[in-house]
Structures are given as C-alpha cells and as structure tokens.
Amino acid sequence: MDVASLHAHGGWRRALACGLSLAPLLSGCEGREIEPLDIERLAFVPPGLCIIGRVDCSTDEPLLVDRFEVTREHWLAIMGGELRPSPAFRKHWTSDTRRHPASGMDLAEAVTFAGRRGMRIPTVSEWMRIATGTAAQPWPWSAQDRESAANLEELGLGRTAPVGTFQRGCTTDGIHDMLGNVWEWTEPPLPAYAIPSAAISDTAVHTQPCWVMGGSFRSGARTLHGHDRKRNLYFFAEAVDPRHRGMDIGLRCVAEAEVYLWERAREWTDPALRPRLAAVGEEWGRRAVVLLERLTRRPAAPAALTWILEGALR
C-alpha cells in the first residue's frame, strides 16, 4: 500500500508503527523477529556506466549497499554507548523509533560505524550511481516524479519515518529512501563539475568540504540532479563541515562486493544458514552470478558462497 492510500484509509499511523518492507526476516509487528545477518541488509549493485552532465559517476566493480538507511537500533547495536547522539538529538531516540534512521553523527563517527561492519561511506559519485542507476535518471525510481514516494517536506509528516516505509520510492536495485527521510553522509572527492543544490540559493554553503546527499523530511522536493538558471549542474546535496551534526543527517554504508563476500563468507559456516543465504542470492538475481561464480572457483572457497550462488541462479 502506498502512502497516499495509507492516508485515505486511515492506516498511516499503523504503517509507521510497523514499518513497511523493513527487513527480510521480520515476521510482522507482533511476530517473532530473527536478527538479520549483515549480508541480509545489503543490495547488490552491478558495475555500470553513469554519466551525469560532465560528471562520471560510473562504477567499475560491483558494490554491496545498505538497502535501508542505518537505523537507530543498528547504530546502537554496533556502537553501544560509545557514540550516542548528543542530548539535543537523544530525546528523539525512543524505543518506538528504533527502526527510524540513525542521525546526529558527524562524518568521523559515520566512518567508524561503517568500518566496524567491514564497510565504508560512499563517495558522491558512488552515491549518485546508486541513486540514479545506469540511466542517470532524475528520480531514484524512474525518469518521472511519483506521488508519495519519499518522505520530503511536501508530505507534511515533519519527522523521520521507519526505513523502507516508502516502497514506491525504491530503486531498481532494491534500495530504499535515496530521496528524503534523512540526508546521507558521503566522503570526498567532490565532483569538479557539479554544485550542491543548496548552493543555488546560498553560495556560501558551496565552500564546505563534504556533501550530504538526497534531502530529508525537511527538504522540498527536487530531482537528484538538474541545472540551475545559470545552467550549472547541481546534485541534490548540501555542503557541510565534516564535524557538523544534524537531526536529519544519517548514513548508508557500501562495500566492494568481491572483497566483502570473500572476507565475510567464512563466518557463515552453519548449514542452517543455507536457505537464508540462498534467499539473499535470489534477491540479488542473475546480475550477481558472474562475481559469485568467480569466487566459488577460488581454492578453499567457503560453502556459503555456493549457497548464495544457488539462490542467484534460481
């Protein structure tokens, strides 16, 4: 059910309480939950050409990308009490918002979180490739705008929503909330031939060394890229100091698929995991087969890689 229908049928609050399409192993709001493997949180993004204006956002190697923005629950599970949001933001981190996106961290803290997962923060060009696809489309879901597909200012919610609520805004690779909900940290380098969209009205913000991408629940609707009145190419971004913290700035992690899978597959030795890993492969589909076949042919390849490949070949 899309957000417009939820409004019409009075189900908006129920949907936010439960979270739509949140994770592969949630059996429902009132059902038993199984803690996901980290790989079950990840989408497979194949390499591909992505040219936006004069900016080359192409990727040469496949990536694994968080399907959802990192949640408050996941942040606390990884970071514990070491890095909690400041008191100004902590009041929003209540038990009923554990599946809302984590926010309030600076870039260094985001990098630390990603590193503990064996992942990293994407660059601007990687983020744009993930969000726009190989067609460099202006919206994550297609070349056309779509009503109620993202948690932006026009929706009127005025706060974050559980990750994955806006299924109509999903990319073709199965990645949610690339537009709206919270801005997402990226790392340098910055593109030489694009400006952040916020610089269109405020040139001062163009000088900061880092960009956050994709807008938040406070942002007006805007395409992921376009041109201003002076024909400058913009990306839907805001330039910020890496030490900045915002209640509407969160993160999403990425990893080189080949390295991540080879290093992590040795942890998945329990044969009981076979159907779960096959389900991951089935979700990734045929586009992951070439990489998985190459990995399974290596000497002493873990059985878990074969289990994922079995699913990808279905």
By the 8 A CB rule, do 112 and 204 touch?
no
Other C-beta atoms within 10 Å of 138: how many? 17
On the CB side of 188, how many CA atoms lie within 13 Å of its CA?
10
Domains observed in the chain: 35-254 (3.90.1580.10), 268-312 (no CATH)
Residue percentage of the chain with pLDDT more than 90: 73
Non-local CB neighbours of 55 within 8 Å, separated by 6+ positions: 125, 128, 191, 192, 193, 194, 233
Q: Using CA atoms, how far apart are residues 4 and 149, in angstroms rounded to an integer? A: 9
pLDDT at 80: 82
Distance of CA 118 to the CA centre of its chain: 16
Give one DSSP letter per residue of 248-305, joined into a string.
TEE---EEEHHHHHHHHGGG---GGGHHHHHHHHHHH-GGGHHHHHHHHTSTT--HHH
pLDDT at 230: 86
Q: Using CA atoms, how far apart are residues 224 and 210, in angstroms rounded to an integer? A: 17
Q: What is the amino acid identity at position 227?
A: H
pLDDT at 236: 96
Residues of the chain with pLDDT under 70: 1-33, 81-87, 199-207
pLDDT at 8: 41
Q: Using CA atoms, how far apart are residues 248 and 75, in angstroms rounded to an integer? A: 15
pLDDT at 228: 87
pLDDT at 31: 55
Q: Using CA atoms, how far apart are residues 19 and 73, in angstroms rounded to an integer? A: 13
By the 8 A CB rule, do 197 and 58 touch?
no
E strands along the chain, which residues?
42-45, 51-52, 55-56, 63-66, 183-185, 195-196, 210-213, 225-227, 233-235, 237-240, 249-250, 254-256
pLDDT digits (tens, 9 = 90+) for 60-116: 999 999 999 999 999 999 998 666 666 677 777 888 999 999 999 999 999 999 999
pTM for this predicted structure = 0.88
Q: Which residues pair with 48 in a beta bridge?
A: 59
